[in-house]
Amino acid sequence: MVANIKESLTLLKIHEKAAGSGPGRKVGVEVLNKSAIILVVASWEAYVEDTASSALSFMIEAGGRHNVFPNNVLERVANKNQGLNSWKLAGDGWRQALRDNFSEVLSTTTGKLNTPKPAQVDDLFLKTIGLSQMSKNWYWKGRSNTKCIAALEQLIELRGSIAHRVQHANKVWKKDVREAAELIGRLGEKTNNATHAHVVSLVGAAPWSTVKYVGLNK
């Protein structure tokens, strides 16, 4: 995800080459800022889906049995596969049932995940790997959980107005892109580490390493 976000910052470099880095309003280059915002949000969307999917796969393979999954996930899958008998499926049937559940959850929220706000992210993680309230993990020094959630919602609303060619009330500036990239970078760290902790608590093994956000310029 970081690589994709850095690509969005490359658009700012093109912006500076085209219009200079001095003060004043730049004409004809705001489209680069808008494109960068779309790329940042697309990176976040893909990251959320990939993280949940990777966690699911690891829990299935490393866990080796269906009951490493929390009850809310098991009950959801069971209700769609002949009740509790779903866990008596021969061979690897239970594995496929869990993967099918992921595909179903993702498909029913596809439109929502195209605008991956906190509520939709929470829903995906809860229904597929049983991780409750992912968005509660989003906070750091200088930014409260409430402010993080509000910032993400505002960013996605901005992306929506750009993508659907709705006239946005304010211009999209280079600082907006930098702030968006910073926000998503930090959210990525928190999401990665929260998922890591959740999987370890259930499976007893780490699906990947924890990470520490150090900034996009490092």
Taking only the tens place, the pLDDT of each residue in 43-82 is 999 999 999 999 999 999 998 888 899 999 988 888 876 6
Q: Residue 11: what pLDDT?
A: 45
The sign of the dihedral angle between the CA atoms of 156, 161, 167, 173 is positive
* Dist. CA 194–CA 36, nearest whole Å: 27
Q: Residue 138: what pLDDT?
A: 98
Question: Which residue matches tokens 């850095």?
Answer: 6
Residue 129 backbone phi and psi in degrees, to 5: -125, 5
Residues in Cβ contact with 71 at an 8 Å cutoff, skipping those fewer than 6 apart: 130
Q: Residue 2: what pLDDT?
A: 56
Q: Which residues of the chain have pLDDT under 50?
A: 11-15, 17-20, 24, 26-27, 90
Give the tokens for residue 215.
């900034």
Q: Residue 14: what pLDDT?
A: 45
Nearest by Cα to 156 from 116, 185, 97: 116
Residues in Cβ contact with 200 at an 8 Å cutoff, skipping those fewer than 6 apart: 206, 207
* Dist. CA 59–CA 51, nearest whole Å: 12
pTM: 0.83
The partner residues of 143 in beta bridges, in order of sequence, read: 140
Tell me how many degrees the CA angle 33-36-40 measures, rounded to the nearest 5: 140
* Dist. CA 125–CA 194, nearest whole Å: 11
